[in-house]
């Protein structure tokens, strides 16, 4: 967890991940409208966020629920991010999306349900796109690292891991965040580990606790769902932090980061962002 | 578990699945050679098996282990099955394989690690190929049934489920076979459920116990790994039943099937098979 | 699972456990009244049962739920069992109960929540009473066998194990019956293993499936909850088999037992029982 | 997690638990010798610790391992604590120990394996001794709170909870610390929650990560195993922090505590302690 460790830094445009600065990624579960994503982008950027997250092609458990805006969603994500000096992260579901996705997505996320989809792992490995690999909720740390090797062995070293909770018998939260997995995965594979407190918590009441724990455990970044009006969200509303409370959450995370020798930038210089 | 239930019968060529006869599927984890797969096909057919299983494209946890013979493997599987009057079942990993796979594979298996790969689920749904959907080892029964709906909603009703064990804290076996899931999934979705005792056991010593339990619990078929010489198997040797013991295992399963009002045919009429 | 194995037979009065005959134990979760327990005893005996089960001192999760009839319950249990030629099995909670309990209880059960209560394990070990040790729902097979050793090392060899399901992420059943644990525990410790399908299922719909699976897996006996009117039961009603259906369940278990080379006696000779 | 919450403060002698100051409890898994426990007490007190922990009657998984020094152990614990101005916490296993234990133990710990030993819960409830109830490693938060109610309903309100990790499929750590359980249990029952990172980690390499996470999550105290020479410890050596590194660990915990608006006192005024 000390900064003298041997974690490879992953650089995406002007953003260096894995060093002293924590990388904050915020946004909605699903991109729903121009108004929604622009409103969120503004707050994320003003709170020190570097990435705007948002799903356009959703892997939902059931086929009858909202499946996302698709390519239109990605266009909106790109525009909103560009307007506020942010980078973009979004889940890619199929090999066939990769080539087009490059125009919109700076960091390709492999979702928990696809962690062992070796076809997708290899295709993203070959693509050379930066990849964030979420841990399968039923998978061990070792299986997660083996999955990452499918990307790395294609010559793509821009790999981040993302701990998002594992499935246990406890039902008070949606998943159980495995905080020890953060330093263990960092140490074993030597790549940065981002923490997703939102899916682990499943309810916004416990997102703060898991955010601060993840920072204290040595996470290299945060991936947090936020929405202006969670009760009307089309997907995963219960776990989204209310957008108006996002800055305060980041302020608290910043204190804990400082306590473990890391930092979260206060905000992007907005002149640069919108210049 | 009674035969007056409303489980849809799935018919593949001359084989009806979901009725009084249990459907036995046997074969190696991975197809390794012509000699290997023909030897196995002979015993499987002689023991009452209807499907020859065998992996050609393996999803292994780590990228450096044996990944299968690929298309050559499928050609061998087809030849061996045809020579002994058997049907074929094998795992399909990518959308791009489906069209060609039809020539070799009668029943497309979706592996545990791909249970929520919605791209693959939809593509196999559209293909119209019969599909056997294995349960994700970290997934609930409801998630499994939702995944099956991705196939069904494409208009493909030839769907089988396969219970193969879930991940628990117990390490004496590789996974824990969830026998209650067999009647629950059958009742909720109304499709046949095949039981895979091999992956659950992880060691051949416990395959018999899980085989008999799965039959007693009302499984509509068995998917069992067997190998002439497991200690030299290139994949999952420890859990493969020794081929010479496969007939005795089927004999015992036959007794239990009869006890719950089902049957396992004694053997294919070989004249028909090789005629 | 074969009968030529080295499982020690435990003899309690005229009942030998661990041999070819399966030992059936049936009764309510909690003893509620004379009428209730006598009605149940009659059916259990007539269906081939050898033990009448029933809780008098209940370990409930919450302190405000029904805690049992206490000593009056045990007196009723003894009377009902004696009237129908049955033996008794009931949970003992405290060292202080043991001495008095001998008058009422033929087989002392250690409940799942007390599996690692070493004080109670040792006290029952010293008492010499036959003991049935239920598996802790969060405990591995090895921990269960170590707990049994606390009894055995006091010189008490009349030990039975009882597999009753472990806690997993699946919520469709109350617990997940670990059928492989049956032959594994038998083989490793060499003592009989009884199967409790009721607590694993949590709902009577799935008790039959787990009963038959447990017999097929080589269980040496069954511990099943039954109640004349489960909807009015004071404890665990949803998982109790309706008493009027108990004989049919035993008939089906008998078929499976025969299929694996075991037997369940049709019924006690009532003349002997009441003579 | 804010200090304006409604968590009851538990006062043991001059120590108030549940307020702004975190309560540090440190010591060996098992008391082994006078030299060992005095050396540890000195460092714990000098690092801001308020309680000296140490087991005298050990509940070990297997009966053949070291079971503790018994009453001699408790006498040593008391002496070492008194010499350095510390309070004592130790596990009580049996009702019969309680009366005598009062002379040696300020805070009675109920271990994870005894969380649902209702006989012990009630006896400690009646005793009026302050009690710290560890979470059963296979138990939900709700079951844990129900167990605490067995103590509370006897009129004993001096109850602390202790989160020490739950059992999951992950084997890289001994248990998985459920950090969300800390604020959830606090909020639901309104009592202080202590965090035990040692048993969750199982290896000292990950104790720091879990310590800091637990503080960030709002824990009211820490229970940490430490030993001068862990490789020679008679019990749980691998998870013990090396005593010489304990002060640095506390210094880091102090930084995180400050970041969430709490504090860990620098050290006891030694004049008072040894006066």
Give the whole-angstrom CA distance, residue A83 versus residue A42: 8
Closest in C138, C141, C212 to B260, CB measured: C212
Q: Is the alpha carbon torsion for A111, A113, A114, A115 positive or negative?
A: positive
Distance CA A134, CA D261 (A): 32
Closest-CA distance, C212 to chain B, in angstroms, reads 5
Let me know how many helices (H) and strands (E) chain A has, helices first. Answer: 10, 11
D170 sits in the region (left: phi over 0; alpha: psi -120 to 50; else beta) called beta
Count, residues in chain B: 275
Given a contact cutoff of 8 angstroms between Cβ atoms, the answer to whether C55 and C235 are in contact is yes
Best B137, B173, B209 member to test C by mutation, with max C CBs in 10 Å, is B209
* Nearest CB neighbour to D93, from listed C63, C114, C118: C118
Q: Neighbours of C (≥3 Cβ pairs closer than 8 A)?
A: A, B, D
- Identify the DSSP state of D176: B
C→A contacts (Cβ < 8 Å), by residue, are: 167-169, 171
Verify whether the Cβ–Cβ distance D167 to B169 is below 8 Å.
Answer: yes
Residues in A closer than 8 angstroms to B159, CB to CB, are none
Neighbours of chain D (3+ CB pairs under 8 A): A, B, C
DSSP β-bridge partners for residue D221: D23, D194
D171–B168 CB contact, under 8 Å: no
Distance CA C183, CA C188 (A): 8
Contact (Cβ atoms closer than 8 angstroms) between residue B48 and residue B270: no
Strand locations in A123-196 (E): 131-134, 159-163, 193-195
- State the chains in contact with B (3 or more Cβ–Cβ pairs under 8 Å): A, C, D
Q: What is the pLDDT of residues D183-210, one digit of tens each?
A: 999 999 999 999 999 999 999 999 999 9
Helix (H, G, I), strand (E, B) or coil at A133: strand
Which residues does residue A224 pair with via DSSP β-bridges, in sequence order? A26
Rg from Cα positions in chain C: 17
Classified as helix, coil or strand, A53 is strand
High-pLDDT (> 70) share of chain B, %: 95
- Which residues contact residue C191 at a Cβ distance below 8 angstroms, ignoring those fewer than 6 apart? C7, C8, C10, C18, C148, C159, C160, C161, C185
Indicate the residue of B142, B166, B177 with minimum beta-carbon distance to C179: B177
CA-nearest residue to C137 within chain D is D138
Q: Rounded to whole angstroms, how far apart are CA atoms D125 and A149? A: 54
Task: Mark out chain D residues that contact chain A at CB-CB < 8 A.
Answer: 1, 138, 140-142, 166, 168-173, 176-184, 200-201, 205-206, 208-210, 212-218, 252, 255-256, 258-260
Residue contact D138–C143, C-beta within 8 A: no
Q: What is the mean pLDDT of residues B7-34?
A: 97
Q: What ipTM does the predicted assembly reach?
A: 0.94
Question: Does the distance separating the beta carbons of B209 and C180 come in below 8 Å?
Answer: yes
CATH 3.20.20.70 fits domain A10-274: yes
Is the Cβ pair B63, A167 closer than 8 Å?
Answer: no
**Phi, psi (deg, nearest 5) at residue D251:** -65, -40
- What average pLDDT is seen over chain B? 93
Q: What is the pLDDT of residue C269?
A: 56
Class of domain D16-274: alpha beta
Does the distance separating the beta carbons of C209 and B172 come in below 8 Å? no
Strand-pairing partners, residue C11, are C16
pLDDT of B268 reads 60
Contact D150 C63 (CB under 8 A): yes
Nearest CA of chain B to the CA of D63: how many Å?
21
Helix (H) or strand (E) holding D73: helix D71-83
For range B109-126, the mean pLDDT: 96
Q: How far is CA A183 from CA A257, D30, D198, in A?
A: 15, 28, 16
Around B88, how many Cα atoms within 13 Å sit in the side-chain half-sphere?
A: 27
pLDDT band at C141 (very low <50, low <70, confident <90, very high): very high
* Residues in Cβ contact with B198 at an 8 Å cutoff, skipping those fewer than 6 apart: B207, B223, B224, B225, B236, B239, B240, B241
Number of Cβ within a 10 Å radius of residue C34: 13
C138·D167 Cβ contact <8 A:
yes
Task: Compute CA C271 distance to the chain's CA centroid, rounded to the nearest angstrom.
Answer: 25
**Residue B209: pLDDT band with limits 50, 70, 90:** very high
C272 confidence band (pLDDT: 50, 70, 90): very low
User: Using 50, 70 and 90 to split pLDDT, how confident is the model at D273?
Assistant: very low
**Threshold 0.90, pTM exceeds:** yes
In whole angstroms, what is the distance from residue D225 CA to residue D28 CA? 5
Mode of pairing for the β-strands spanning B241-242 and D10-12: unpaired
Residue with tokens 């629920």: A65
What average pLDDT does the segment D62-82 reach?
90
Tell me, what's the pLDDT at D181? Answer: 98
pLDDT digits (tens, 9 = 90+) for D150-183: 999 999 999 999 999 999 999 999 999 999 999 9
Interface residues on B facing C, Cβ-Cβ cutoff 8 A: 1, 138, 140-142, 166, 168-173, 176-184, 200-201, 205-206, 208-210, 212-218, 252, 255-256, 258-260
What secondary structure, in 3-state letters, does D245-257 show? HHHHHHHHHHHHH
Q: Specify whether the CB–CB gap between B37 and B52 falls below 8 A.
A: yes
CA distance C41 to B51: 48
Chain C nearest C-alpha distance from D253 (Å): 31
Rg of chain D taking only CA atoms, in angstroms: 17
Identify which has the larger pLDDT, B60 or C75. Answer: C75
Question: Which of A210, A213, A212 has the alpha carbon at shortest distance from A202?
Answer: A210
pLDDT in tens, D115-153: 999 999 999 999 999 999 999 999 999 999 999 999 999
| Nearest-angstrom CA–CA distance, A91 and A59 | 9
Taking each helix axis from N to C terminus, what angle separates D246-259 and D34-46, rounded to the nearest 10 degrees?
30
Mean pLDDT taken over chain C: 93
Tokens describing residue D12: 């043991």
Q: Mutate which of B137, B165, B166, B169 to disrupt the D interface (most D C-beta within 10 Å)?
A: B169
* Interface mutation target, options A183, A200, A259, A261, chain D, most CBs of D under 10 Å: A259
Task: Compute, in degrees rounded to 10, the torsion defined by CA atoms C31, C34, C39, C43.
Answer: 60
Distance of alpha carbon C130 from alpha carbon C157, whole angstroms: 8
Is residue D271 very low, low, confident or very high in pLDDT (cuts 50, 70, 90)?
A: very low
Q: What is the rounded distance in angstroms from the CA atom of residue D29 to the CA atom of residue D58?
A: 9
Query: Of all residues in chain D, what percent carry a pLDDT higher than 70?
Result: 95
Classify C15 as helix, strand or coil.
strand
Mean pLDDT of B117-132: 96
pLDDT in tens, C12-58: 999 999 999 999 999 999 999 999 999 999 999 999 999 999 999 97
| Per-residue model confidence (pLDDT) at position C274 | 41
- Residues in chain A with pLDDT < 50? 1-4, 271-275
Separation CA C85–CA C273 (nearest Å) = 4
Residue A53 contacts residue A27 (beta carbons within 8 Å)? yes
The residues with which A91 forms a beta bridge, in sequence order, are: A109
Interhelix angle A34-46/A246-259, rounded to 10 degrees, is 30
The answer to whether the CB of A175 falls within 8 A of the CB of A199 is yes
DSSP class of D268: -
Chain B residues close to A94, C-beta within 8 Å: 95, 119
């Amino acid at each position: 967890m000390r900064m003298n460790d041997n974690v490879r830094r992953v650089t995406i445009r002007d953003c260096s991940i894995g060093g002293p600065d924590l990388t904050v990624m915020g946004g909605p579960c699903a991109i729903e409208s121009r108004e929604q994503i622009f409103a969120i982008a503004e707050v994320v950027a003003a709170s020190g966020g570097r990435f705007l997250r948002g799903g356009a092609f959703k892997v939902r458990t059931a086929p009858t629920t909202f499946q996302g805006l698709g390519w239109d969603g990605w266009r909106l994500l790109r525009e909103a991010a560009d307007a506020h000096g942010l980078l973009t992260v979004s889940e890619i579901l199929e090999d066939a999306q990769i080539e087009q996705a490059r125009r919109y997505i700076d960091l390709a996320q492999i979702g928990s349900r696809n962690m062992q989809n070796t076809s997708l792992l290899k295709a993203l490995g070959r693509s050379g796109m930066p990849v964030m690999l979420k841990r399968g909720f039923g998978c061990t740390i070792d299986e997660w690292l083996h999955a990452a090797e499918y990307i790395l062995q294609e010559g793509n070293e821009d790999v981040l891991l993302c701990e998002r909770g594992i499935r246990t018998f406890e039902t008070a939260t949606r998943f159980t965040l495995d905080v020890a997995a953060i330093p263990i995965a960092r140490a074993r594979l030597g790549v940065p580990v981002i923490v997703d407190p939102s899916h682990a918590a499943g309810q916004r009441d416990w997102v703060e606790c898991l955010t601060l724990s993840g920072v204290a455990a040595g996470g290299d970044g945060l991936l947090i769902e936020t929405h202006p009006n969670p009760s009307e969200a089309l997907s995963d509303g219960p776990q989204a932090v209310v957008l108006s409370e996002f800055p305060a959450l980041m302020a608290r995370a910043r204190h804990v980061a400082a306590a473990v020798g890391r930092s979260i930038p206060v905000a992007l210089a907005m002149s640069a962002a919108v210049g």
